Amino acid sequence: MINNVNNKARLYKDGYGIINEVYTKEEIDAILIEIAKADTSNATFRKTDNLFAIRQFLKEIPAVKQILFNDKLKGIINELFGDRYFTVKSIYFDKPQKSNWFVAWHQDLTISVDKKTDTPGYGPWTVKQNQFTVQPPINILENNFTICIHLDDTGEGNGALKVISGSHLKGIYRPETIDWQKETEHTCNVNAGGIMFMRPLLLHASNRTTNNKTRKVIHIEFSNTELPKGLKWAEKQMVFTI
């Protein structure tokens, strides 16, 4: 049984949590079958020796939505965050067995929007693969959350996320100012079919692969905040109508 009371307390205190057995092996296989059908020639696909990624994942492969947003995941979202949240960004990552790809310590400080506008409190702006991203006011980041759906067993050897517990409560926390005399990193081991939920302001990182195992993860960001007039979420999709 999922103890969402403890999960909610941990989310507030630590900024993250792990829940295993959200998806069956059959559901994972069904997700991977849909991914294998995709046309990888689109600009939202990135394929190198170190990484296969699909940006705007839910838009590119809509058939996975019914599988991903099963009753168990919807129940978790409703109990931890409420039923007013919607998806605002989605990426699929496939880190191959011999990948040298790693991610340095960072917070997720930007959101994806439909266009660039002169909006007070929003900036700086960037463009990646025809996608506009911008740093919003901090209250939006504090309210958003991310769910990482693991399609492989993930541990330290194949790039499981490392996090600094409680760092989401410290506002904008620059990696170069981390005081390792006070902070401790934790590795988030997640079983295939499990999820990790986290706040975007949580400092996190990922190591290179050393154990010759893949790491396939679906990263989905959620918000319940409408943006100012003239600005729209680039990937907004409702959750509880799926």
Task: Give the pLDDT of residue 242.
Answer: 67
What's 137's DSSP letter? -
Task: Give the pLDDT of residue 1.
Answer: 53
Mapped onto helix, strand or coil, the DSSP state of residue 227 is coil
Q: Specify burial of residue 161 (Cβ count, 10 A radius: 0-12, 13-18, 19+).
A: buried
Rounded distance between C-alpha atoms, residue 59 and residue 75, angstroms? 23
Q: What is the mean pLDDT of the chain?
A: 92
Residue-wise pLDDT for 97-112, tens only, equals 777 778 999 999 999 9
Task: Give the pLDDT of residue 96.
Answer: 79
Residue-wise pLDDT for 140-151, tens only, equals 999 999 999 999
Contact 183, 167 (CB under 8 A): yes
User: Which stretch of 22-31, 121-130, 192-201, 221-230 has the lowest confidence by average pLDDT?
Assistant: 121-130
Residue-wise pLDDT for 56-71, tens only, equals 999 999 999 999 999 9
Mapped onto helix, strand or coil, the DSSP state of residue 242 is coil
Contact 65, 175 (CB under 8 A): no
Residue-wise pLDDT for 41-58, tens only, equals 777 777 766 668 899 999
- What contacts 44, CB < 8 A, 6 or more positions away? 54, 55, 56, 59, 60, 129
Mapped onto helix, strand or coil, the DSSP state of residue 54 is strand
Which domains, ranges and CATH numbers included, belong to the chain? 15-36+59-106+141-238 (2.60.120.620)
Ramachandran angles phi, psi of 12, nearest 5°: -70, -45
| Cα atoms in the 13 Å half-sphere on the side-chain side of 168 | 26
Mean pLDDT within 106-127: 95
Task: Give the pLDDT of residue 161.
Answer: 96
End-to-end CA separation in angstroms for the chain: 24
The amino acid at 143: N
Rounded distance between C-alpha atoms, residue 213 and residue 150, angstroms? 13
Rounded distance between C-alpha atoms, residue 88 and residue 170, angstroms? 24
Rounded distance between C-alpha atoms, residue 27 and residue 159, angstroms? 23
Task: Give the pLDDT of residue 90.
Answer: 96
pTM, two decimals, is 0.94
DSSP string, 153-210: -B-GGGT-EEEETTGGGGSS--GGG--TTT--EEE--B-TT-EEEE-TTS-EEEPPP-
